Amino acid sequence: MNKPLGKIAIIGGGPTGIGVGRELIEAGFEIDVYEAESDFGGVWNAEASCGRTYRSLHLISPKFNTQVPYFPMPDDYPVYPSHKQMLDYIRSYAKAYGLYDRAIFNAPIKSLTPEGDQWRLVTESGQEALYPLVVVCTGLQRVPTYGDYPGYFSGQVLHACDYKSAQQLVDKRVLVIGGGNSGCDIAADLVHSASEVYHSTRRGYYYQPKFIDGKPTPQWLMQLGNKFDTKEETLAYVQEVFRLAGFDGDDYGLPHPDYPLDGAHSVMNSQILYYIGHGNIVPKGDVASFAGNRVRFVDNSEVEVDVVLHATGYKRDFPFLADDLLEWKKGIPDLFLHAAPRNHDNLLFMGFINTSAGLGDGLKTQGLFVRNYARALFEHLPGLERFLAAKKVDTPDLGQSYFVDSYRHLWEADLWKLLGHSRHYREMLVEGAPEDEEKARA
């Protein structure tokens, strides 16, 4: 490979930044990884402001598809590792592939501005450098969002990112708002400490157990393969198995979902329905209003609570980039494949798409894309021009229209469609490469 024209900057030392860095190092590129905290980990770094973990948290994706290909998790890890084990794994991965030698810690980015055909990066401490390619990997869980309801709540208001342990809310009456994985997990965790737990959701959801037939559910689903002739038959079978296992919300008096089983990000939780069935969690509909410590719901029922905890997601935040440097659509940057700005050819965003799959394959896929992009950019490969033209006009189907119409699902993608399109475009990038460099296609 020809010597790169300059170093590549990676902003963010969470799993995605590490995964991208590993691929670039392996391909022979020089990189600098800027991390605002004192160590790698991102959302799994419990001691940092970016951490999004709490004491009892375990992964909702099993070990087999969370681990990165060719870097397995330790044999003694359970099927669903704890957040501490996940952090140890991420850092061991970074160490094994030389990321610590390329890291600049305690270096939050102050500004990133275009300068000719490069980007000038300035840290909060005043460190400056120019880069011909920058990869932003700061993650989706940046600025917490809260439900907006009439009235005023006089008690304690928290967000899921503030929740660190059930011991925070001992003997409190708590309302958890949000039906996603975080809301369900926290509500189930609180039954061990709170005096009352209410769980408010806006719609019906499908709940999936973490194990079916002695296997982690994602593995069981994968092993169904082509057992049925149609997708509809497959989904009907899966729903019936879940129902027989006790995981049909209808049986607990919950609203029936108004979307197909695979039309929203999976809620993987083996406890939420159990505790609802035992009365430890009281399900409620959407909040209508607040008045002091009273909460009124859309069915006109009311409860008194001490704490409202919003598990209502996050919005993206790029404080180092002027808003007008990006094109925006529905409150998120308009990125080709959720990765490449259409108006910049030397800036990439990785880790800003979600699928119902584990971390490992996603890291590998995104890392390979950046690796081929960097190669095409620095070596002036003809495939780059094809890609740059394609990103202006192509509208690859990532399954977006199939999912629930919500802010959270603006960046949800069908895994197999995403993998197929990612491979197509990363192979396009290295078209015209010398024969002896074909390994970049791997």
CA distance 406 to 96: 39
Q: Are 225 and 295 found together in one domain?
A: yes
Q: Are 200 and 90 found together in one domain?
A: no
The per-residue pLDDT for 441 is 46
Question: Which residues of the chain register pLDDT less than 70?
Answer: 1-5, 435-442
CA distance 199 to 175: 6
Q: Are 130 and 114 found together in one domain?
A: yes
Q: Are 113 and 279 in contact (CB under 8 A)?
A: no
CA distance 117 to 268: 45
CA distance 423 to 245: 37
DSSP 68: B
CA distance 38 to 33: 12
What would the two tokens of residue 240 be? 């019936």
In a domain, 225, yes or no: yes
In a domain, 3, yes or no: no
User: In 10 A of CB 299, how many CB atoms?
Assistant: 10
Listed in sequence order, the residues at least 6 apart from 149 whose beta carbon sits closer than 8 Å to its beta carbon are 287, 288, 289, 290
Give this prediction's pTM: 0.94
In a domain, 181, yes or no: yes
The per-residue pLDDT for 178 is 97
Q: Are 273 and 349 found together in one domain?
A: no
Q: Are 206 and 174 found together in one domain?
A: yes
DSSP 420: H
Q: How many domains does the chain have?
A: 2
What would the two tokens of residue 89 be? 């794994």
Q: Are 80 and 97 in contact (CB under 8 A)?
A: no
The single-letter code of the amino acid at 225 is G
Write the pLDDT tens digit of every residue in 36-69: 999 999 999 999 999 999 999 999 999 999 999 8
Q: Are 365 and 393 found together in one domain?
A: yes
Count the alpha carbons within 13 Å of 428 in the hemisphere toward its beta carbon: 14
In a domain, 2, yes or no: no
Q: Are 23 and 35 found together in one domain?
A: yes
Q: Are 90 and 222 found together in one domain?
A: no
CATH number at residue 295: 3.50.50.60
CA distance 370 to 24: 8
Of the candidates 134, 155, 203, 187, which has an alpha carbon nearest to the alpha carbon of residue 311?
187
Q: Are 169 and 284 found together in one domain?
A: yes
In a domain, 1, yes or no: no
Provide the domain limits for residue 274.
146-310
CA distance 351 to 260: 26
DSSP 167: G
User: In 10 A of CB 329, how many CB atoms?
Assistant: 10
Q: Are 41 and 92 found together in one domain?
A: yes
Q: Are 165 and 294 found together in one domain?
A: yes
| Gyration radius of the chain's alpha carbons | 23
Write the pLDDT tens digit of every residue in 195-248: 999 999 999 999 999 999 999 999 999 999 889 999 999 999 999 999 999 999
Decide which of 310, 332, 366 is a domain's last residue: 310
In a domain, 162, yes or no: yes
Decide which of 295, 310, 325 is a domain's last residue: 310
User: In 10 A of CB 24, how many CB atoms?
Assistant: 25
In a domain, 362, yes or no: yes
In a domain, 74, yes or no: yes
Q: Are 91 and 135 found together in one domain?
A: yes
Decide which of 267, 284, 310 is a domain's last residue: 310
| CA dist list (Å): 19 to 12, 72, 140, 207 | 11, 14, 16, 30
